[in-house]
Amino acid sequence: MGQPGIPEPPGFSDLTKEEQIRYLEALWDRIADQPGELPVPESHLALAEERLDAHRRRPDRAASALDIVDRLAKPAAWQRRGR
């Protein structure tokens, strides 16, 4: 699996690529079926839809991701959000 800190399951590298993929799919299915999984709240989806609609109406008002990160990195931005 190649990433430091994540041990490869025993025998994983002995599997064919097809078997490795099936293994990972089964593992993902187990993760996705966990009872503690939290769905995306409807309020988050509604907000994302509102913002996408606003962007489609006025794409010229969009800021770059770097501009947003820079703005959020300033302490005043966090203070305005009550953090």
- Confidence (pLDDT) at 78: 54
> Does the residue 20 lie in any domain?
no
**Closest by CA position to 13, among listed 27, 23, 26:** 23
How large is the average pLDDT for residues 15-37?
A: 86
Alpha-carbon distances of 31 from 8, 23, 27, 78, rounded to whole Å: 17, 12, 6, 34
> Does the residue 72 lie in any domain?
yes
Structural domain total, the chain: 1
- Confidence (pLDDT) at 38: 65
Q: Which residue has the tokens 């079926």?
A: 33
Q: Which residue has the tokens 């994983």?
A: 12
Q: Indicate whether 13 pLDDT > 90.
A: yes
Q: Indicate whether 14 pLDDT > 90.
A: yes
Q: Which residue has the tokens 């399951």?
A: 9
The parent domain of residue 63 ranges over 42-80
Q: Indicate whether 35 pLDDT > 60.
A: no
How large is the average pLDDT for residues 38-45?
A: 84
How large is the average pLDDT for residues 24-38?
A: 78
Backbone angles phi, psi at 56, to 5 degrees: -65, -35
